[in-house]
Amino acid sequence: MPVDKKTLNQYRALQREIPKLKKDIQKLNDKLDKVPDVAGKVMKSSDEFPYIVEHVKVDIKDPRPADEIKKQIRYKELRLDRAERQKTEIEMFIAGIEDSMDRQIFEMLYTNDEKMSQAAVGDIVGYTQGRISQIINSYLKD
């Protein structure tokens, strides 16, 4: 499953975005818990025959603010899911590189906490920057 450079370069951004989205979702859930309850009525059938419609009082979250917050939570959850899938796709791509040296090159360039240049990676593994670029391009789709 080849990927392109743009996708690989997203890895660090995804690492920052995922915890932020989780924190945002938690804040929205906390905000949802603070939405005041309002009284409402629902209809139900009586428990025994003859089944007669009964009106029952219930307390529910105020629908207007609760619905807006739930909509924001769903949006953030979709973004989180997409970000986690993209991050996993990159990790699986790199893990799928059979050559150990090539895999290490990709890890140093794209998944390490500190961004490294091709020249710096080349110095570590004993290759020129040009050779590092060739290795990368041999794995990536156009």
DSSP state of 59: E
Amino acid 61: pLDDT: 86
d(CA 7, CA 10): 5
Q: Is the pTM of this model over 0.85?
A: no
- Tokens 């859930």 -> residue: 29
Which residues of the chain carry a pLDDT beneath 70? 1-2, 142
User: Coil, strand, or helix at residue 55?
Assistant: strand
Amino acid 142: pLDDT: 61
Can you name the residues that pair with 44 across neighbouring β-strands? 54
Amino acid 67: pLDDT: 95
d(CA 127, CA 46): 79
